[in-house]
Structure 1
């Protein structure tokens, strides 16, 4: 199924990246970076389907070689935090074949990037045949007509005239200076450093601190770069990608489409899932629970419940005659969702108790271990200092030697005692080495972080529970008072099916951590929250069952009598 995915990133030295490395990765090639002298080799990477470099007319033809292109980019940027390139990662439709995807991508890049003056380096990847996607690497510095790089930002001097401050570039200032605009410099006024013009400072006899005039913090951005970097332009590119893909799908007579808008803008009330990433997925494969996957499971469960609720709402609108059955189904659906949410809260509470118990057990051990470790380090340092002092002490000073030997003996005994204490603490922590204790300390920090995650989850779950309770009350009081018994009977009849659905959902979400006792507790707490008495349900269910059996008994003799009459004939 065609999906919309367009991720925009910036390749920056400030984040430790390089344009050469990014290009080598996506083209699965070996490239040498002249800027830092590092060779990036990704020739062993699999999944490359297609790669190409597209250039605007003013660009040097030599830049068709991506290594020369990105080394030219690296050479043009001088600062340690320079923005080197803009990168897009887009998902390609699985419904299209290789040639169609290449044509689609080249058309989009040419019209949206190259025609605007950018050099574009792109590659298509598909490792497993089910995830075709493209990496697009773009230059961020505009080109002059002669193929040289333009400036991204230009220094802007903040000049003053008659109390008004205004920014000028170096070229603009030459003309503005004739109109009376002056640059501002820093001058020493007592203990303060104040910006003022040279004419004012000369009148008051102040000394200038440095030769750097006052300027705006980021300078004046190149208007072309400013357009490329704007949020508005990014929105245009996102929309154009959706339009380009949809046109290609329609051209190939494929009944599918994508939309660049968010769920909210599309009017979809479902919550979007988050990107899990390969690290989280690998953790899940190893039997661990990844936070991102856990969040997505909750989102999918909520969305499933939301879809069911929406379906019930549609039934309410369409079925007036069957209003009581529909209301009953809606109430049971909401109740199921509330029980699921309450179960999740109880599950989180159990997890927090386990974490707290674990932390309470190991916290004093770790604290004592760290204290002993610090003392041991201090004593070892003290012993070294005493040994150095002893070596420096003359043999003609026996009294000092005796004193130092006594101190060394005492310190050595203390060191051995601390070592013994440290070994005891390591044993108490069920560890073997200092490295194990370091890992235990890291695990302790991770547990603390997990508590914060669980607390955050609890807040959102409680909000959802409150919202569901309000919806349940609204449905509960929708029928007329004389219909309450009918509604109760209908809910009793359908509840077993809903209970089975809930159990299946809980087992699917929590797996081996599912506990039916916790489910019953969650159900009781939800009924209490909804002001419903389980005994009323039980008693009414018993009455209905009794009535059913009585009806069967009344019908039984009639059937027997009829059978006897038939035999006589």
Structure 2
């Protein structure tokens, strides 16, 4: 099934991330970070099909080496909260062969990224599909945020644009410094550029679909922009699918299950609303009175018209029974006029929309808390090992101990960097996080209950 997924984030030190480690993971290689003094080894990662670095003509040729490139990026950034690279995650199409997908990805990157002077490091992944599942081929792209100048040296991310008065003179602030705005030197991070890239990828895939004579198409726009009243699912990823295959329920898949049920409810609600509106239009077309009739009047008219065509008392009694049931329903819902009936489905639709926004916000926070708790577990598990390493005096013994506990230490240091802003008096608010997550989960379940009630109401 044709799929559009085009996600971009930033790799930054403020989130405890290493651009060298990120590149090693995506390419399935072993790389050494000079900035952190750590080695990231992902050579056993089995789903990497290929990886490649694409350079603009003015980039130093040595940057074709992955370790050299990303260590140069780390060295160029001095800030503790520096933004290092853009990271893209883009879905490939199962309708194309792997070679067609790779050629399409390379063409897209050359035409849209390298042509702008960007350095591109991309890797194609194809995780093993589960039994009965579908393949999930995709490619990762990493691009340094800092541009390379024509002389091959790293340039500036921003430039100063001074604020001028009506005479064209610079304006001073209260501290007698010239006021200025920090303006990006490139348009790589602008929403307009991202929109252009998303559309360019969709257009390229759609052209390939047409070339192969396939009817499927993808659209880079959100459901809302397409006018589709549907909640989007969240990206599950291979690790989540592996857990589900083992019978372990996950929040992401639970949320997607709820989304599928809610979308089905929305479609059914929309059909019912449209049916009601069509019925109301037919009824209004028959009315010529200056004042709108009551719903009871309309029901009586409808029943009388049906009785005109009835050939037996049994049919007339059945019409009367349906009339009585409809009248009882309208009375129980306090519906007296056509406007009341029209407004009721819209009010329910508004409730559904509110539930949709609430569920999305809660799921986002649950995802954030799960990540913090995962990092906290890494920290708790690795703290004794790190303390033990710090107490070993002899270098040979230290290296042996470090080698034996490499994975634990690596995840501990990563967690320590990421959790640094959350420490209070040397402690992490783990209990508070767990309580908040439990509360959000209960509220999410309550939201699902309200959704079912609204479905019954519609």
- The bucket for the TM-score relative to the shorter chain is 0.5 to 0.7
Between the aligned partners of 1:104 and 1:445, the Cα distance in structure 2 is 44
Matched positions, count: 315
SS class of match (1:8): strand
Residues 120 and 142, structure 2, Cα contact 8 Å, conserved in 1: yes
How far apart, in 2, do the equivalents of 1:214 and 1:259 lie? 46
Which segment drifts farther, 299-308 or 143-152?
299-308
Partner of 1:243: 203
Alignment of 1:261 onto 2:266 = no
Query: Which residue does 1:93 correspond to in 2?
Result: 93
Deviation string, structure 1 residues 308-365 (Cα, Å, up to 9, x no partner): 45566788869x9xx99xxx9xx9xxxxxx9xx9xxx9xxxxxxxxxxxxxxxxxxxx
Matched, 1:60 2:48: no
The corresponding residue for 1:454 is 442
* SS of the residue 1:232 aligns to: helix
Q: Does 1:81 align with 2:81?
A: yes
**Kindly tell me: are residues 462 and 310 of structure 1, through their superposed partners in 2, closer, same or farther at Cα, counting changes over 3 Å?**
closer
Look up the SS of the partner of 1:123 in the other structure: strand
SS at match of 2:229: coil
Superposed CA offset, 1:432-466 (max 9, x none): xxxxxxxxx97897366323332244356536745
Work out the CA distance in 2 between the residues paired with 1:287 and 1:309: 33
Greater percentage in helix? 1
Q: CA RMSD in A?
A: 3.9
Query: 1:102 offset after TM fit, Å?
Result: 1.1
Select 2:141's aligned residue among 136, 159, 165.
136
User: Matched residues in 2 for 1:63 and 1:448: separation?
Assistant: 46
Q: Secondary structure at the match of 1:68?
A: helix
8 Å CA contact 1:47, 1:125 repeated in 2: yes
Correspondence 1:292 to 2:268? no
CA contact (8 A) 2:262 2:451 kept: no
**Do 1:157 and 1:183's aligned partners in 2 also have CA atoms closer than 8 Å?**
no
- Please state how far the C-alpha of 1:291 moved relative to its aligned partner: 3.2
Q: Is the 8 A contact 1:155 1:215 kept in 2?
A: no
Give the CA deviation at 1:116: 0.4
The residue aligned with 1:424 is: none
String of CA shifts for 1:185-232, please: whole Å, max 9, x gaps.
xxxxxxxxxx344xxxxxxxxxxxxxxx4665xx522332xx111111
Partner SS for 1:228: coil
Q: 1:165 to 1:223 in 2, by over 3 A?
A: farther
TM-score (norm 2): 0.60
Aligned counterpart for 1:146 among listed residues 151, 160, 178: 151
Q: Structure 2 regions of 5+ residues with no counterpart?
A: 130-134, 283-305, 307-318, 320-324, 330-347, 356-428
**SS state of the match for residue 9, structure 1?**
strand
What is the aligned partner in structure 2 of residue 273 from structure 1?
233
2:185 corresponds to which residue?
223
Match of 1:103 in 2: 103
The separation in 2 between residues aligned to 1:60 and 1:121, in whole angstroms, is 14
Q: Are 1:74 and 1:84, in contact at CA under 8 Å, matched by a contact in 2?
A: yes
Shift of residue 108, structure 1, vs aligned partner: 0.5
User: Aligned partners of 2:7 and 2:434: how far apart in 1?
Assistant: 29
Q: Alpha carbons of 1:40 and 1:128: their partners in 2 closer, same or farther (altered >3 Å)?
A: same
TM-score (norm 1): 0.49
Q: CA contact under 8 A between 2:27 and 2:48: conserved in structure 1?
A: yes
The change in CA–CA distance for 1:9 and 1:458 in structure 2 (over 3 A counts) is: same
Distance apart, 1:43 and its partner CA? 0.7
- d(CA) in 1 for partners of 2:159, 2:436: 47
SS of structure 1 residue aligned to 2:192: helix
Report which structure shows greater RCO (CA 8 Å, sep ≥6): 2
Aligned-partner Cα distance in 2 for 1:27–1:18: 14
Counterpart CA distance in 1 for 2:208 and 2:166 is 53
